Amino acid sequence: MESVLVTGGCGFIGRHVTEELLERGYKVRILDAFIDQVHGDTEAEVPQGAEIVRGDIRDKQVVFAAVEGMDAVIHLAAEVGVGQSMYEISRYVGVNDLGTAVLLEALIGGPARRIVVASSMSVYGEGRYQTATNEQVGQARRRADRIKMGQWNLQSADGKPLLPIATDEEKPVDLASIYALTKYAQEKQVLIFGEAYGVDAVALRLFNVFGAGQALSNPYTGVLANFASRLANGQPPMIFEDGEQRRDFVHVRDVAQAFCLALEKPKAAGHVINIGSGQAYTITQVATLLAEAMGVPHIRPDIMNKARSGDIRNCFANIDKARELLGFEPKHRLEHSLTPFAEWVRQTGAVDRAAEMKQQLEARGLVS
């Protein structure tokens, strides 16, 4: 494979993926809609050396032209945000699912022999859990009445606490948000298409991606970017629930490596693969580490003790499959990467829109 189309290639992850591909000697074409929520009022950064096609992933004419002559596709174009997806439903379903359908139709009969799609850890809902006696729980979900009473942690049917463990790809999906639904539909479309048309298809389930280049003024982007925007403006990070929920944070440079490996490794074809750090961090821990890195350790997080609709309690990655099929090994641990991230935030600046996001969700009854 010599030429690769990267949809969404001027977004946060897309720019890093494109740069990694160019460094490896690929010819890269980017299809990107340059939406305001991601890129804001400033001119979008365009990776040097890539061909740019400006257009919407739902536009058949643009997409059919973009895929022409491409040997492979990395499909990143998507609307991203659990909370926003719960009220801008048609927008998320349209871009994520219809957009993927248009792309796949354009690939029928074409030269592309591999497609890698960005899926999300959100498809799992809650991650893996086990009982105190080490028995794995097949499917765990919190009850709405318990959440409203501020009882955040999961319990078994007999009222005993469940312990979160690393989530592998065999864990059944449990779609708790419209965003999760659209990402699952994306990965299934791609895998079904690949099998039907003899195209190698890979779906990467990304955990919480962070790093320089995130859209700091987009309140629906990653939690770390939201915290950075608040801290940069002298405001405390807003944390829903009690802050003890756990997530996996993976550096965008490691994610870019994973996409390139998914293009190149024959064994990956037909598989869904977790891409994370393999580490678990509480959200309060992350906010505290970031405040220290940004030189404002006195700004303590604002613990909301309220829950957002669609949020889950714990999910962090088991990356054994990525190691086996891709040779993937994350190199940039969160605690070792926050100082350069903080320096980038200081140089970039950010508009804090977290309060606006909270108001939008509360107005629609999506915070309890």
Residues belonging to the active site: 179
The residue behind tokens 């403006």 is 233
* CA atoms of 161 and 131, how far apart (whole Å): 7
Report whether 232 contacts 352 (CB < 8 A): yes
Cα 175 to chain centroid distance, Å, stands at 15
The helix (H) or strand (E) run that includes residue 169 is: none
* CA atoms of 101 and 104, how far apart (whole Å): 5
* CA atoms of 115 and 131, how far apart (whole Å): 39
Enumerate the β-bridge partners of residue 28: 4
Alpha helices in 108-143 (DSSP H): none
Report whether 98 contacts 29 (CB < 8 A): no
Helix axes 99-107, 60-67, angle to 10 degrees: 40
Structure tokens at 102: 């248009």
Structure tokens at 285: 């821990």
Measured CA to CA in angstroms, residue 124 lies from 38, 171, 215, 242 at distances of 25, 7, 25, 21
Residues 6+ apart with CB under 8 A from 57: 7, 8, 31, 33, 63, 77, 95, 99, 100, 102, 103
Report whether 23 contacts 259 (CB < 8 A): no
